[in-house]
Structure 1
Amino acid sequence: MDTVIQTRKGSPFAKFYAALFSGLLVATAGLFIGQSIPRGLFLPLAIVEIIMITMMVFARKQKAIGYPLMYVFMLISGATLYPAISYYVSMLGADVVFRAFAITTISFGAMAIFTTVTKRDFSFLGGFLFVSVIALIGLQILNMFIPANGTAQLILSGFGILVFVGYTLYDFSRITRYGFTDSEIPFIVIAIYLDFVNLFLYILQFLGVSNRD
């Protein structure tokens, strides 16, 4: 019995969920730290996030580097989330933001459980999702210079929700069906975290556009 329990506690999935939970705690701390960061530093920090994600791709097999990078990334990411969360709280109210967070958490958890239990293979979505993310980034940049009308923004945010619902299914499908090593856990944690955060932000954007219209 002790051997079985020890094996379960030391399994890759147990380590993954422990790393994810601790990473979310660090991101939450970063969110509070973000209140004290000067506005002019948020863009440089966002660029640092992109650089760190690139570094994680190359260091994903190196456990000694992966974990420190993961926690630093989570801290910075939490801090850079503060302006967006603050904006939506002021526009929609804290209760709507908490409701969006609850919707994201429940739907995200349901998709994770569904994929883990059924072991359905969603790897076929990979190419479509990658192209969709590139398209989303391009459309968001275009929207900064040529603001879209309410209907177009609603469609864009709805499309973003669908893309990151797809990425959630895709990422959990891959780790459930194909497994992973201990050294890959930090990179996987960041991928899952980004699925959750982007899904949350697009749900907030959808509610914000709906509320404005």
Structure 2
Amino acid sequence: MQRTITVSGAGTFAHVLQTFALSLLVSFLGMLVGAMIVPASLVPLFIVAEVVMLIAAVVIRLRGRSIGYTFLYAFTAVSGVTLYPVIMAYGSQLGANVVSGAFLATAVIFGGLAFYAHRSQRDFSFLGGFLVAATLGLLLMGLLNLFLHFGSAVSFVWSAVGVLVFSGWVLYDVAQYRDGVDPADVPLAALNIYLDFINLFLYILRFIASILGANRN
């Protein structure tokens, strides 16, 4: 059953979205720091920190506690630092205009799905188990790709599935939060939506790269 927060203020869905938007801004600032200050040799340390923080967020949640705003913004800042070399790599491969177009497409898709999930009042909780399993499958594919280096055909399927999975996560998470959350859970809700958006963006970039790679071959 959906929890409904009847009081206005920190627990409203609008505040979740505001916190998410601020998280994106902090991530962008992290990208600037990564571009201007952090040397490439230190980026792996930020990746390790990002993974550790994600695991910590899961453990904190399992213990029934909240992550807090400091944790949220620290994570998104670190995430921005690790995103910078990825975005630059796609920029050199696809061009800055294509990357900008992918970000715009992500914003449009995310906004459309979020609007539908919020206004339709449909229950998307049935997607939960499938999305968790599919996300684990995507992570496994990512690990295998480190050693096997998939071709454009496999990358096309992998990225297309990734776009569908994180589109599903947008529907699922927005449906969970549209009636509001406990004020203490706002940072976690914003973190989940932030991860939905960033992963959707990255899989759209991978999808475009796989198409262009296939055409060049």
Same fold (TM over 0.5): yes
Within 5 Å, give how 1:1-213 maps onto structure 2: 12-35=12-35, 36-59=37-60, 66-176=68-178, 179-213=180-214
- Which amino acid is 2:209 matched to? G
Which residue number corresponds to residue 4 of structure 1?
Answer: none
Which amino acid in the other structure matches residue 29 of structure 2? A
2: CA distance, partners of 1:84 / 1:208: 13
The superposition leaves residues 27-79 of structure 1 with CA deviations (integer Å, 9 ceiling, x where unpaired) of 1100111113122222221121122123223445656x511000100100011
C-alpha separation between the residues in 1 aligned to 2:166 and 2:15?
24
Q: Compare 168-177 and 88-97 and name the one that shifted more.
A: 168-177
- The answer to whether the Cα contact below 8 Å between 1:59 and 1:66 also exists between their aligned partners in 2 is no
* Structure 2, unaligned runs of 5 or more: 1-6
CA contact (8 A) 1:57 1:187 kept: no
Superposition TM-score, scaled by structure 1 size: 0.90
Q: TM-score, with normalisation over the residues of structure 2?
A: 0.88
Preserved contact between residue 11 and residue 186 of structure 2 (Cα < 8 Å): no
Mark the runs of 5 or more structure 1 residues left unpaired by the alignment: 1-6
| Cα drift, residue 18 of structure 1 | 2.2
What is the rounded CA distance, in whole Å, between the counterparts of 1:30 and 1:71 in structure 2? Answer: 10
Indicate if the aligned counterparts of 2:53 and 2:75 stay in contact, CA closer than 8 A.
yes
- The aligned length equals 205
Structure 1 or 2: more helix by fraction: 1
Q: Distance in 1 between matches of 2:119 and 2:101?
A: 27
Please tell me the residue identity of whatever aligns with 1:13: F
| Contact 2:118–2:174 (8 Å) recurs in 1 | yes
Instruction: Point out the more displaced range, 71-80 or 49-58.
Output: 49-58
- Give the Cα–Cα distance (whole angstroms) in 2 for the partners of residues 104 and 22 of structure 1: 17
